[in-house]
Structure 1
Amino acid sequence: MKQTKTYLSNTVEELKPSGIRRFFDLAAGMEGVISLGVGEPDFVTSWTIREAAISSLEQGYTSYTANAGLMELREEITYYLNKSFDVSYSPKNEVIVTVGASQALDIALRAIINPGEEVIVIEPSFVSYSPLVTLAGGKAVPVQTTKDSDFKVLPHQLENALTPRTKAIMLCSPNNPTGSMLSESELREIAKIAIKYDLLILSDEIYAELSYDEGYVSLSSIEGMRERTILISGFSKGFAMTGWRLGFVCAPEEIAQAMLKIHQYSMMCAPTMAQFAALEALKSGKEDVLEMKKSYRRRRNYFVQSLNEIGLECHIPGGAFYAFPSIKSTGLTSEQFAEKLLLEEKVAVVPGNVFGESGEGHIRCSYASSMEQLQESVKRIKRFVEKL
């Protein structure tokens, strides 16, 4: 029989679908499910931000903006970063407003990677990192961390993973899915390696506003790192603006302008009304961010303590809104645990193995849910574990 011709790219055919999606789809058709799976704030975007978007529409701001985004927004981004994290960028040539941090990651990788070059991805990692490296023509090289180091990468692990083809390191702190946050001294150790081996670092700082026990340090603020850091962030997590799809990237001019070329051809510009909303978020959203942060911290403390009392060992996450407990004591794999928990107790979590091999034996739970839902989920998880 003649084989049917395929019109698909080999690269895309070989990509695995997101492991998170399967559990969302399973949960979608069930009633009474408590979802701890979605990496999304349970807060509604504050009214002042929504009002700014509505006002922009009423005033007729419905056309394209500059490719790099509204100049006023880029200026406000650089002011915010400088004031909050002691980071300095030029709004004219070194900042691009993107369609979420995800698009920023995509165009950053496409701007710097030549075919076959390698990017170190520290695992457990967000599910899109390695696929985006692949789609850019590069090779993702996983470096696995464990709960023994609170899922923080150690300098010797990075050095052992380097080859002549290593181009960059992908870094996310606070981390998705583990919630671990690198301290200033730990960042400095990574910076030494980047400088010594002339590497770029893609620093995903989308959770910078959600650090609980110590002040956040941006990698770009460390001496010698501004010229080799691509800082990626956005408004989804800290400002509760997931559906607005607005992010930004800051990078040295040569890299930023290369990224802008790709952005021009693939996206033109980020949505105009979302840009006006983001401008208002930076100007007036600080109090709302602090209130959310206080609430998440209370939930973190309750939820992590409860998991440990149940017997699911869990480190205290320094930021973001994820707990990453071990389920090894149950004898189940991550996928078995997540599926049985959903079917038997109607609690949706994400199996840790979708974030890389070192995530096996763990589950990701988002505590960006109401305290009432967290309390009920703890009862259900405890009942499930006791049955096992």
Structure 2
Amino acid sequence: MNHYLSPIAASLPPSGIRRFFDLASTMKNVISLGVGEPDFVTPWTVRESGIFSLEQGQTMYTSNSGLIELRQALSWNMEKKLGLEYNPQNEILVTVGASEAVDLAMRALLGPGDAVLVPDPSYVSYGPCATLAGAEVHFVPTRAEEDFRLRVEDLERAYTPNTKVLVLSYPNNPTGAIMTWEDYQPIAKFVQDHDLIVLADEIYSDLTYIGNHTAFASLPNMRNRTLHVSGFSKSYAMTGWRIGYVAGHHDFIQAMTRIHQYTMLCAPITAQVAALEALRSAEQSMQDMVATYDRRRRLMVHGFRKIGLSCFEPLGAFYTFPSIKSTGLTSEEFAEELLREEKVAVVPGNAFGPSGEGHIRCSYAYSTEQIQEALNRMGRFLSKRIK
């Protein structure tokens, strides 16, 4: 029946993240370091608010844009934490996860003949979402020796006259890299010089371990050129609630809302109520989770270096991205052999773009005991391959 499919849908590859976990699910005693999901449950006050909303019969649609109370709270939160000011009436849209926000932004901004710049390596969805919008994707390499920071020289090389959108995703999945105010200065000039729009996916902004997160939209003249995307999945351990948001110039938000109302209508009301409670009462729970991630981060980086793998120290998100080039294996060979021999599941780096080859992504959103046992198994695996 494939001949009935659209050429774009038929050509989309499956997510490189999922293949190894489908294989791991058929095996016993596997330790997975692969899925980008907190190992904490949603804070109790947040869960309770969702339960209570159901008990009160709140099971109806909301505004396409989302509950006004939630948008007001998001507006206040962004101003307090990031120095960003958005009108909750027409500059904030509540979405079904940050993933929907990314998709809506791509479809609202891009069309056939347009091009988008995507840092490489980066999260797997950006390229396919741009492709589904009919645009060309140009990957912009980042490198471990430069702390995986995006450099304007690489942007200039990847730029074409058809380029319309630049994706920024810091703290970065999969590398854990961050960008500072100083790092962003030449990027902002590049954006202005080339009249680009920025899709800034900053869902890991609360998971910044050194200093404070810099929102790209907070840079001079970047507010109206930026769609600021975030959500509740990572910071508040709310992955299954599927609740995100996007903020930006009202013309952009209006266009995205039109697509949203025809495809999703609104985010689920129960998740919106829970998200509102997270903003009101779960800040301490979030900070406790971040402190735990920070301890695990240092354990994992130290562990990889101890067993012989070069590992860039991530300063955000909850991933490490060690180099496995010393083994002589490709990323996929390494991940598959490690899974079969030692029953440790990791994600091959090339799943996140060409520059990810020679690396693996390992999440530290797992218990200390699991991380330590995985490191022990990986050390045994490497002892047979690194001389």
How does the TM-score come out when normalised to structure 1? 0.98
Query: Could you say what secondary structure the match of 2:35 adopts?
Result: coil
Pairs within 5 Å for 1:203-352 = 203-352=200-349
Deviations 1:49-77 (A, max 9, x none): 00000011111110000000000000000
Q: Which amino acid aligns with 1:79?
A: W
Unaligned runs of 5+ in 2: none
Q: 2:91 matched to 1:117?
A: no
Query: Which SS does the other structure have where 1:6 is aligned?
Result: helix
Q: Secondary structure at the match of 1:298?
A: helix
Secondary structure at the residue paired with 1:240? Answer: coil
Distance 2:226 2:191 in 1: 9
User: Separation in 2 of the partners of 1:235 and 1:106?
Assistant: 17
Tell me the residue number matched to 2:90: 93
**Moved segments of 4+, more than 4 Å:** none
**Residue of structure 2 in register with 1:186 after alignment:** 183
The alignment yields a C-alpha RMSD, in angstroms, of: 0.8
- Please, which of 358, 370, 373 is the counterpart of residue 373 of structure 1? 370
Amino acid at match of 1:163: T
State the distance in 2 between where 1:343 and 1:294 align.
33
5 and 330 in structure 1: CA distance in 2 versus 1, 3 angstrom threshold: closer
**Residues 290-330 of structure 1: CA deviation (Å, up to 9, x unaligned):** 10111001000011011011111001001000000000001
Deviation at 1:153, TM superposition (A): 1.3
Amino acid corresponding to residue 168 of structure 2 in structure 1: L
Aligned-residue offset at 1:261:
0.2
The percentage of aligned residue pairs carrying the same residue is 55
Which of 125, 137, 140 is equivalent to 2:134?
Answer: 137
Count of residue pairs brought into register by the alignment = 385
Aligned-partner SS, 1:317 = coil
**Structure-2 residue corresponding to 1:196:** 193
Partner of 2:157: 160
AA aligned opposite 2:77? Y
SS of residue in 2 equivalent to 1:243 = helix
Cα distance in 2 between the residues matched to 1:28 and 1:127: 21
* Structure 1 residue 5: Cα displacement: 7.5
- What amino acid maps onto 2:259 in structure 1? I
Question: What is the letter of the counterpart of residue 383 of structure 1?
Answer: R
Whole-angstrom CA distance in 2 between matches of 1:6 and 1:356 = 28
What CA distance in whole angstroms lies between the structure 2 residues aligned with 1:317 and 1:211?
A: 9
Aligned residue in 1 for 2:355: 358
The TM-score with structure 2 as length reference comes to: 0.98
> How many angstroms apart in 2 are the aligned matches of 1:134 and 1:100?
20
Structure 1: gaps spanning 5 or more residues: none
Instruction: Summarize deviations over 1:76-99 as a string: whole Å, max 9, x none.
Output: 001000001110001000100000
Deviation string 1:188-221 (CA, Å, 9 cap, x unpaired) is: 2211111111110000000000000111111111
Paired residue for 1:105?
A: 102
